[in-house]
Amino acid sequence: MISVTEAKNMIRANATPLTPVTIPLQQAAGRVLAADVFAVTDIPAFDQSAMDGYALSFAGFELHTTLTIHGEVPAGAPELSLLQPNQAMRIFTGAPTPTGADTVVMQEKVQVNNNQLYILDDQLKAGNNVRIKGSEIKAGELVLPKGQKLTPAAVGFLATTGVAEVTVYPTPVMSIIVTGNELQQPGKTLQYGQVYECNSFQLRAALQSLQIEEVPLFEAKDDPQVVKDTLQYALDNSDVVLLTGGVSVGNYDFVPEAAAACGVTTLFHKLKQRPGKPLFVGRKGNKWVFGLPGNPSSVLTCFYEYVITALEELMQIPPVLKTIQVPLSKTYSKNALLTFFLKGYYDGQTVVPLDSQESYRLRSFAMANCLVCLPEEKMEFPEGELVVVHLLPE
C-alpha cells in the first residue's frame, strides 16, 4: 500500500493535458484556454458616449456658454458626424462621438430652450462620459492568457473583442462500468440478495458538475471474461474509464486481472486510507482506468480525491475541491494508522464529523458538505484542533 500523498503525486506526474480543440465561444463556459487570445482591434473601436446626453467640445463650451443643438447620433450610427465648437449634438449611450467633440454632458444636467443647450453641470470637465478608443483593450494586446478558466464574464469579454471561437482543453470522454451479480436498477423490485445500484447515479451527477455529460454506463457480471471484454470496449471508446466493485481480494474481484489483460499498466493498487483502501489506478497510453471500490461512500470519496485529481490535469482546470483548515467541533479517535476521509459538515466556523461513517452508508454523505482529512500517522484529534477539510462541490 502507498500513502495518499504518494498516490496523488503519482497521478499528477502521469497525467498529461488532453489535446486542445477549437470550439464556438457559446460552448466554452467553464473550459480552460489552451492558447493565448489577442485583440484584433481596439475596443471600443471608436470614441464612444457613455451616457444619454449631448456631445460637445469642452473648449467650445467654455467659449460660447450656450450651444446650438445640431442633429443627433444614435448608437450604431453608420457615418461620422462633424461638430463645430459652438454646437452640441444629441447623443445616446454607445454612439460614436462626433468629430470635434470630446465631452458628453448627461441629459439630466442640461436645459433645452429654442434649440439652445444650457449646461447646468458645474462639475463638467473635458473628457467626461466619453469612452476613449482602445480604453478597454488595444489591438495586439493580450485579451486572456492560456490557462484562464472561462467564466461567464470571461466569455463575455472575449465576445466584446469579436472572438467567435476559442481553443480550449476538452472534457474527456468517459465511461462507467458497474460490476457485480447483486445489482438491481432503481425502480425495479429487489430480489433476495440484490441491492440497488447507486454508484453510476452519483458518479454521473458528480461528472455533470464538471460539464462532463452523456457518460455511457455498462454493466458487467462477475465473470472475468465479461469484465475484460467490457473494459476493452470502454477503453477503445473513452479517455477515462471508471469501474465500481471488483477491486479487492475476493474470489469475484476480477478488475485488476481484466485491466492487465487489456494492456493497462498498474500505477497503484491499495492505499493507506479509509474508506477506499482497495482503489486501483492504471493507464494504457493516455487512457486512464480507475477501479473504485464497490461501497458507495468509498466510490464517492475516491472520485473526489483521485479521479478529480486526474481530471484537473487532463482538463487543466483549477482545483475543484477547496482546501481549508478549521477546528474540529468534537473529539475524534481513529482506530487504524491510515488516512481517514470523514464525511463532515462545515458550518462556516467549525467542522463536525458526521455519524454513520461506514463505507456502505450514503445517508451521512448526502448531508455532508466536506471531507475531513485526518493524517495516517496520528490517532487522536481533540476538540478544537485544526484539521484539513476538502469542501465538496455543491
Render pLDDT for 98-110 as a digit per residue (tens, 0 to 9): 999 999 999 999 9
Q: How far apart (Å, rounded) are the C-alpha atoms in residues 258 and 265? A: 11
Largest CA distance in the chain: 97
Question: Residue 329 — left, alpha, or beta (φ > 0 → left; ψ -120 to 50 → alpha)?
Answer: alpha
| Residue pLDDT, tens place only, 195-250 | 999 999 999 999 999 999 999 999 999 999 999 999 999 999 999 999 999 898 77
| Residue pLDDT, tens place only, 114-138 | 999 999 999 999 999 999 999 999 9
Q: What are the distances in angstroms from CA 278 to CA 151, 273, 308, 359?
A: 37, 9, 18, 12
Q: What are the distances in angstroms from CA 96 to CA 50, 87, 189, 226, 260?
A: 10, 16, 69, 69, 67
Domain 4-18+171-315 has CATH 3.40.980.10: yes
pLDDT band of residue 292 (cuts 50, 70, 90) is very high
The whole-number pLDDT of residue 78 equals 87
Residue 282 has pLDDT above 90, yes or no: yes
The whole-number pLDDT of residue 251 equals 74
CB neighbour class for 255 (10 Å; exposed up to 12, middle 13-18, buried from 19): buried
What CATH topology corresponds to 322-391?
Beta-clip (2.40.340)
**Nearest partner of 55 among 88, 100, 11, judged by Cα:** 88
The whole-number pLDDT of residue 333 equals 97
What is the CATH number that goes with domain 48-131?
2.170.190.11
Q: How far apart (Å, rounded) are the C-alpha atoms in residues 356 and 78? A: 69
Map out the domains of the chain as residue ranges.
4-18+171-315, 21-41+149-169, 48-131, 322-391
Mean pLDDT for 28-35 is 96
Q: Do domains 4-18+171-315 and 322-391 have the same CATH topology?
A: no
